A and B are shown apart, each in its own frame.
Chain A
Amino acid sequence: MNSQKKSEIYNTLKKTRAQISIPLTVLTVTSYFSFIWVIAFKPNIFGIMLPGTNISIGILLGFLLILLIFIITLIYVYLANKKIEPIINKIKNV
């Protein structure tokens, strides 16, 4: 009985983890490789200046990407503490 309940909770854990980690990993990898893709194939796009300034799109996007990376880690930890941790505790207490 106990072990069946345990394996049910474990399956929920695996599912919850996948729902959180996979989209965030995909977001991390695609945002980075899009950035690299532009540098590799269309470097001129990053040289275009924001209208009326001398700040280029590339530098703005670079700064935003650094911010995004940090935000991804914040989102993950928030979700992990809220959704994953309670399930792990359940498993430990079964």
Chain B
Amino acid sequence: MYRLIILLGLLFANTAFSFNADESGHNLVAIIMFVLFVGITLLITYWASKKTHTAKSFYTAGGNINGLQNGLAISGDFMSAASFLGISGLVYLSGFDGLIYSIGFLIGWPIILLLIAEPLRNLGKYSFSDVVSFRLKQKPIRILAACGSLSTVILYLIAQMVGAGKLIEILFGLPYYSAVIIVGGLMISYVTFGGMLATTWVQIIKAVLLLFGATVIAFLVLYQFQFNFDNFFSQAINVHSEGNKIMAPGGLISDPLSAISLGLALMFGTAGLPHILMRFFTVPDAIEARKSVVYATGFIGYFYILTFIIGFGAIVLISNNPEYLDGSGKLIGNNNMAAIHLSHAVGGDILLGFISAVAFATILAVVSGLTLAGASAISHDLYANAFLKGKNNEKMEMRVSKMSTIFLGILAVLLGIIFEDQNVAFMVGLAFAIAATTNFPILILSIYWKNLTTRGAVIGGSAGLFTVILLVILGPVVWVDIFNNNEAVFPYKYPALFSMTVTFFGIWFFSKNDKTKTALSEKKLFESQYFRSQTGVGIDKPSGH
């Protein structure tokens, strides 16, 4: 614990330094707000650390989180700074197209609720690989699931870290390096000391702050138009250089195949994100799991409506205001700063400070959730179940998970520094594509398809993972934009349609023709697994306080 206090001291020293470096008014509000957030969350971490003694409490907060709390925490995980700033920036740039992403991110939720949430809760303990390996062979399945989880988590982490560094650089005047190190250090302390309990509460606080902040901005924007949407959109059309094209689908998707491929990645990617799936083990039973999805869907849907209003608000209120533009008429920073500038335009320095602090808090909360999911893949799947075959003791598993947390935190900081000047926007898209291609198919088929065997899952899943990574590297985003080749080898930006086909076909083919003894016994075990997944008979009770 004393290390935590030292860290806190370092952080204060750091913020004080930045305060001296830049004494403008909005920074003061932002810094006070942020220091308050960090102080409160560290206190929560201290409280949580007293309750986090077992692996179960470390990974699942003892299973004592209720539906509303988990719903808020899920929306906290999902409403990253990337989606808040990124989607409002996309709406600012091209209007309607932002809505394609919002709806795509949201549509995964009914799928999770209808097909996955309850069986997941009924079959698993700490992570979705518990479910996949329920009747399949532990070692190969755990390794595959851990590869899927870790690649999703690390790509997501890089995107968040780079975004965080840049954002903090602009908002607080801190150098990029120290911003990334502060984020890494705080995240390591939340997760290592407070486990899932602290991470959940950090998410809840951040979700409430973000929903409140976005509501205030959207309200102040609409207030200027007397809540008349016709008037509001008309103004935006008048102001925007694309005119009324911003009200219709534009350049985001250039051909039908891409539309469907992106749609698949968004819809099924959500249902394969390890840090989201992990949240379902923090509630006591399937009833609360169900409830948490409804709350989460409501909050996230409301949030996306707000980001849409914020994006359009930015078109009307700041796109012609020289205060927010650089010499060439572009937004200062970049388009992702639309929401931040808008908060200043409608709410002055105080709202700007508040939103800046919330954006920082958001990044911290999201990277904590990601790191915890990554640490559980290393310690629970790889260490405890794949290599020690479940024969380890809990204390050792806890130590390994804390070590993995620190390792992932340091890795995230290093990658954040290495990728500073790279375009990392595609990484979140790739993370969704991998989740949709590897994690989602093996999870859904293990729950519902009797004939799934270890061989089928391993061959199909790894073939899909390999395909999706290869197609992204050969596609326009990496091959042309990053490697500077003239033409992409693989012409489509969104690979999910192709890679998901590879996975499903591979799994079907190699399971169906699997006549080995293990395959037969795995198929036989399906009935009892299905019974448990549907009824919850046999699941762990939440641990007492």
Let me know if B247 is at the binding interface, CB within 8 A: yes
Question: CB-CB < 8 A to A58: which residues of B?
Answer: 96, 99, 247-249
**B526–chain A nearest beta-carbon distance, Å:** 13
* A interface: dominant SS: helix
Give per-residue flags for B87-129: 1 if the beta carbon is below 8 A from chain A beta carbons, else 0.
Answer: 0000000001001101100110111011100000000000000
CA separation between A34 and B109, bound complex, in Å? Answer: 18
Contact B113 A39 (CB under 8 A): no
Smallest CB-CB separation from B100: which chain A residue? A39
Contact size class for A? 35 or more
Contact B109 A69 (CB under 8 A): yes
Give per-residue flags for B317-354: 1 if the beta carbon is below 8 A from chain A beta carbons, else 0.
Answer: 00000000000000000000000000000000000000
**B195–chain A nearest beta-carbon distance, Å:** 29
Give per-residue flags for A18-29: 1 if the beta carbon is below 8 A from chain B beta carbons, else 0.
Answer: 000100110011
Within 21-76 of A, Cβ neighbours of B (below 8 Å) are at 21, 24-25, 28-29, 32-33, 35-37, 39-41, 43-44, 46-47, 49, 53-56, 58-59, 62-63, 65-67, 69-70, 72-74, 76
Residue of B263, B294, B297, B298 near A33 (CB, 8 A) is B263
How many residues of B are counted as interface, with CB atoms below 8 angstroms from the partner's CB atoms?
Answer: 46
Give per-residue flags for B66-98: 1 if the beta carbon is below 8 A from chain A beta carbons, else 0.
Answer: 000000000000000000000000000000100
Question: CB-CB < 8 A to A33: which residues of B?
Answer: 260, 263
Q: Known: A63-B305, A69-B301. Is A55-B531 also a contact (CB below 8 A)?
A: no
Most buried by A among B113, B237, B531: B113
Question: CB-CB < 8 A to A28: which residues of B?
Answer: 107, 110-111, 114
Within 268-306 of B, Cβ neighbours of A (below 8 Å) are at 287, 290-291, 293-294, 297-298, 301, 304-305
Contact A66 B103 (CB under 8 A): yes
Contact A65 B103 (CB under 8 A): yes
Question: CB-CB < 8 A to A54: which residues of B?
Answer: 230, 233-234, 237, 244, 247
Question: CB-CB < 8 A to A76: which residues of B?
Answer: 110, 113-114, 290
Give per-residue flags for B246-257: 1 if the beta carbon is below 8 A from chain A beta carbons, else 0.
Answer: 011100010110
Question: CB-CB < 8 A to B224: which residues of A?
Answer: none
Contact B287 A32 (CB under 8 A): no
Contact B537 A14 (CB under 8 A): no
Q: Known: A17-B534, A56-B247. Is A70-B298 also a contact (CB below 8 A)?
A: yes
Residue of A24, A25, A53, A69 near B230 (CB, 8 A) is A53
CA separation between A29 and B249, bound complex, in Å? Answer: 20
Contact B114 A62 (CB under 8 A): no
Let me know if B536 is at the binding interface, CB within 8 A: yes
Smallest CB-CB separation from B233: which chain A residue? A54
Contact B291 A21 (CB under 8 A): no
Residue of A13, A29, A40, A65 near B534 (CB, 8 A) is A13
CA separation between A32 and B111, bound complex, in Å? Answer: 11
Residue of B96, B106, B109, B304 near A56 (CB, 8 A) is B96
Contact A49 B287 (CB under 8 A): no
Residue of A35, A47, A53, A88 near B248 (CB, 8 A) is A47
Let me know if B131 is at the binding interface, CB within 8 A: no
* B interface: dominant SS: helix
Smallest CB-CB separation from A13: which chain B residue? B534
Contact B294 A77 (CB under 8 A): yes
Question: CB-CB < 8 A to B291: which residues of A?
Answer: 77
Let me know if B399 is at the binding interface, CB within 8 A: no
Contact B106 A69 (CB under 8 A): yes
Let me know if B512 is at the binding interface, CB within 8 A: no
Let me know if B241 is at the binding interface, CB within 8 A: no
Contact A40 B256 (CB under 8 A): yes
Within 372-424 of B, Cβ neighbours of A (below 8 Å) are at none
Q: Known: A47-B245, A69-B297. Is A14-B96 also a contact (CB below 8 A)?
A: no
Question: CB-CB < 8 A to A82: which residues of B?
Answer: none
Let me know if A85 is at the binding interface, CB within 8 A: yes
CA separation between A55 and B107, bound complex, in Å? Answer: 23
Let me know if B535 is at the binding interface, CB within 8 A: yes
CA separation between A12 and B114, bound complex, in Å? Answer: 18
Question: CB-CB < 8 A to A32: which residues of B?
Answer: 103, 107, 263, 267
CA separation between A43 and B291, bound complex, in Å? Answer: 36
Contact A59 B96 (CB under 8 A): yes
Let me know if B229 is at the binding interface, CB within 8 A: yes
CA separation between A66 and B114, bound complex, in Å? Answer: 17
Residue of A25, A47, A80, A92 near B111 (CB, 8 A) is A25
Residue of B245, B297, B531 near A70 (CB, 8 A) is B297
**A17–chain B nearest beta-carbon distance, Å:** 7
Question: CB-CB < 8 A to B100: which residues of A?
Answer: 36, 39
Question: CB-CB < 8 A to B263: which residues of A?
Answer: 32-33, 36
Question: CB-CB < 8 A to A66: which residues of B?
Answer: 102-103, 106, 301, 304-305
Contact A72 B99 (CB under 8 A): no
Q: Which residues of A contact B (CB under 8 A)?
A: 10, 13-14, 17, 21, 24-25, 28-29, 32-33, 35-37, 39-41, 43-44, 46-47, 49, 53-56, 58-59, 62-63, 65-67, 69-70, 72-74, 76-77, 80-81, 85, 88, 91-92
A-B contact pairs, 15 of them (CB 8 A): A28-B114, A29-B267, A33-B260, A36-B263, A46-B247, A54-B237, A54-B247, A56-B247, A56-B248, A62-B99, A65-B103, A74-B294, A76-B113, A77-B291, A92-B535
Q: Which residues of B contact A (CB under 8 A)?
A: 96, 99-100, 102-103, 106-107, 109-111, 113-115, 229-230, 233-234, 237, 244-245, 247-249, 253, 255-256, 258-260, 263, 267, 287, 290-291, 293-294, 297-298, 301, 304-305, 531, 534-537
Q: A62-B99, A69-B301, A77-B113 are in contact. List 12 more A-B contacts (CB 8 A).
A: A28-B107, A40-B253, A47-B249, A54-B230, A56-B233, A58-B96, A69-B109, A69-B297, A70-B297, A73-B113, A74-B294, A81-B290
8 tightest A-B CB contacts, nearest first: A47-B248, A40-B259, A56-B247, A40-B256, A43-B249, A54-B234, A62-B99, A36-B263
